[in-house]
């Protein structure tokens, strides 16, 4: 169907009486009628713990180290005005119109240029624009995963991918990470085991750069080995790379897409959320044409096309300004905030606690002494000490992660980070005391 046909459908008049059907007016018993009718994919869907914690970030009394907020405050008003003015002047009608499902050609060209700068060769036809990196993940899972299919993902994995994994009823096998990222040797072991069990994984979902939430980066040697495995074992690798440009220490590493060198085993996902703005909700997928064709159909079902207005804003911004200057400014801010968090953790955490030292991205992963359950700790931290973080269980689908947490260092300034970690230290100390009082420590 031509999406424009929608425009001819008159808007429905909703009679005032319909308001009594609003969810808020239903009793729990009324609401239960739906339970038996929910599709299994809706019944089994697990929320992203980060989204559940979003409301805490809005409470002014709480210091939130939970969100994944890039620093949008440093985006200059004059730049925004100029870009929006250019869109209004030169592209108003088309910016307000539907666009192609695969995205504006000009934007796909810009994406190809950006990828080339990072060393990754792609053609415009390899690119589909998505509504954020989130849709790119969802389309990847939707396109390949049937209910009950196995997929591999790091443990911990991105909590925001959990609703997609569960919607499509994937069985997630976590593969551990260490300071060099995904344990690629254990990927091979998992492939052997799953083949023997008769359920070879449909794909591996991985975040090689500045893992969210792990804070670690896959080494070059492991990247090469992973690509060798993908080629030898015919494994599809979904490389989620929202943070590749957010490096403030060390040298950039080639993407898996680049190392795959056109062999077609890597699907590369990225986004403008961290290099420009998460508010524009523009991301992309680079994939072989046969895969993109299927994903295009999936996207038609989801949203017809990504906001043309947003895409136009991104194109005009990329044409008029050097996005790398802005990213360099952001990275300087993040580096200083990361350092503030590392210093504060050193001062406030007990000696048994450990944490990762990210060279980029927005997060680090901290592991507490084993007697601390971070889900319980969050309740105490929020209620008594007014500080929030993402508890580790939200990053696993197998119940693990109870001793860990994700801490964000991009969203608040250095002084607030120091105060937030100080409060967190008090909460940890209180739980440690309790444990000791119960005779748990000798």
> Which residues bind to ligand PMP, rule: CB under 6 A?
68, 132-134, 137, 158, 160, 207, 212, 240, 242, 271, 273, 278, 283
What is the distance between the alpha carbons of residues 77 and 313, in angstroms, rounded to a whole number? 14
Nearer to ligand PMP, 257 or 385 (CB): 257
Nearer to ligand PMP, 143 or 212 (CB): 212
Nearer to ligand PMP, 127 or 428 (CB): 127
Partner residues linked to 52 by β-bridges: none
Token duo for residue 122: 């792609």
Q: Write the CA distances from 366 to 38, 235, 259, 342, 381, integer angstroms.
A: 37, 31, 31, 11, 15
Minimum distance from residue 269 beta carbon to ligand PMP (Å)? 7
Is the Cβ–Cβ distance between 167 and 143 less than 8 Å? Answer: no
Nearer to ligand PMP, 278 or 420 (CB): 278
Minimum distance from residue 270 beta carbon to ligand PMP (Å)? 8
Minimum distance from residue 240 beta carbon to ligand PMP (Å)? 5
Is the Cβ–Cβ distance between 121 and 327 less than 8 Å? Answer: no
Where b means 16+ CB within 10 Å and e means fewer, 229-265 reads bbeeeebbbbbbbbbbbbbbeeeebbbbbbbbeeeeb
Nearer to ligand PMP, 152 or 207 (CB): 207
Token duo for residue 356: 């990762």
Helix or strand holding residue 132 (H, E): helix 132-144
Minimum distance from residue 402 beta carbon to ligand PMP (Å)? 22
Minimum distance from residue 175 beta carbon to ligand PMP (Å)? 16
What is the distance between the alpha carbons of residues 155 and 175, in angstroms, rounded to a whole number? 5
Nearer to ligand PMP, 68 or 99 (CB): 68
Minimum distance from residue 406 beta carbon to ligand PMP (Å)? 10
What is the distance between the alpha carbons of residues 145 and 236, in angstroms, rounded to a whole number? 12
CB atoms within 10 A of CB 60: 6
Minimum distance from residue 82 beta carbon to ligand PMP (Å)? 24
Nearer to ligand PMP, 272 or 385 (CB): 272
Minimum distance from residue 160 beta carbon to ligand PMP (Å)? 6
Minimum distance from residue 188 beta carbon to ligand PMP (Å)? 24
Q: Which among 173, 171, 163, 202 is positioned nearest to 42, based on CA atoms?
A: 163
Nearer to ligand PMP, 283 or 394 (CB): 283
Nearer to ligand PMP, 133 or 360 (CB): 133
Determine whether 9 is exposed, middle or buried from the number of CB atoms within 10 Å of its CB (0-12, 13-18, 19+): exposed
Which residues have C-beta within 8 Å of that of residue 255, sequence separation ≥ 6? 118, 119, 120, 208, 239, 241, 244, 268
The residue number whose beta carbon is nearest to ligand PMP equals: 132
Q: Give the distance, in angstroms, between the CA of residue 257 and the centroid of all CA atoms in the same chain.
A: 18
């Amino acid at each position: 169907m031509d999406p424009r046909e929608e425009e001819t459908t008159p808007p429905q008049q909703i009679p005032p009486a319909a308001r009594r059907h609003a969810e808020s007016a239903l009793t729990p018993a009324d609401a239960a009628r739906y339970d038996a009718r929910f599709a299994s994919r809706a019944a089994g869907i697990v929320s992203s713990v980060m989204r559940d914690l979003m409301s805490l970030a809005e409470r002014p009394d709480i210091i939130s180290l939970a969100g994944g907020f890039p620093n949008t405050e440093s985006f200059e008003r004059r730049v925004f005005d100029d870009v929006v003015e250019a869109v209004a002047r030169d592209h108003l009608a088309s910016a307000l119109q539907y666009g192609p499902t695969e995205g504006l050609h000009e934007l796909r060209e810009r994406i190809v240029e950006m990828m080339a700068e990072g060393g990754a060769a792609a053609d415009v036809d390899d690119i589909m624009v998505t509504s954020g990196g989130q849709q790119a993940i969802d389309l990847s899972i939707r396109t390949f995963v049937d209910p009950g299919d196995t997929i591999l993902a790091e443990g911990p994995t991105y909590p925001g991918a959990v609703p997609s994994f569960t919607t499509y009823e994937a069985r997630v096998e976590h593969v551990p990470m260490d300071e060099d990222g995904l344990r690629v040797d254990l990927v091979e072991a998992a492939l052997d085991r799953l083949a023997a069990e008769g359920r070879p994984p449909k794909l591996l979902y991985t975040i090689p750069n500045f893992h969210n939430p792990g804070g670690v980066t896959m080494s070059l040697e492991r990247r090469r080995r992973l690509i060798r495995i993908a080629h030898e074992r015919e494994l599809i690798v979904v490389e989620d790379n929202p943070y590749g440009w957010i490096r403030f220490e060390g040298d950039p590493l080639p993407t898996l897409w680049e190392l795959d060198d056109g062999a077609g085993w890597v699907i590369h996902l990225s986004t403008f959320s961290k290099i420009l703005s998460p508010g524009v909700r523009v991301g992309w997928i680079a994939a072989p044409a046969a895969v993109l064709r299927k994903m295009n159909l999936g996207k038609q079902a989801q949203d017809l096309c990504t906001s043309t207005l947003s895409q136009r804003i991104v194109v005009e911004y990329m044409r008029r300004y050097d996005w790398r200057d802005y990213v360099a400014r952001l990275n300087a801010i993040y580096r200083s905030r990361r350092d503030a968090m590392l210093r504060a953790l050193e001062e406030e955490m007990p000696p048994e606690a450990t944490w990762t030292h990210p060279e980029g991205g927005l997060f680090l992963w901290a592991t507490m002494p084993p007697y601390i359950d971070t889900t319980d700790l969050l309740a105490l931290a929020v209620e008594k000490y007014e500080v929030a973080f993402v508890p580790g269980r939200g990053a696993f689908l197998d119940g693990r992660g109870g001793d860990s947490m994700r801490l964000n260092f991009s969203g608040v300034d250095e002084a607030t980070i120091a105060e937030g970690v100080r409060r967190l230290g008090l909460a940890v100390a209180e739980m440690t005391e309790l444990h000791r009082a119960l005779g748990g420590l000798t």
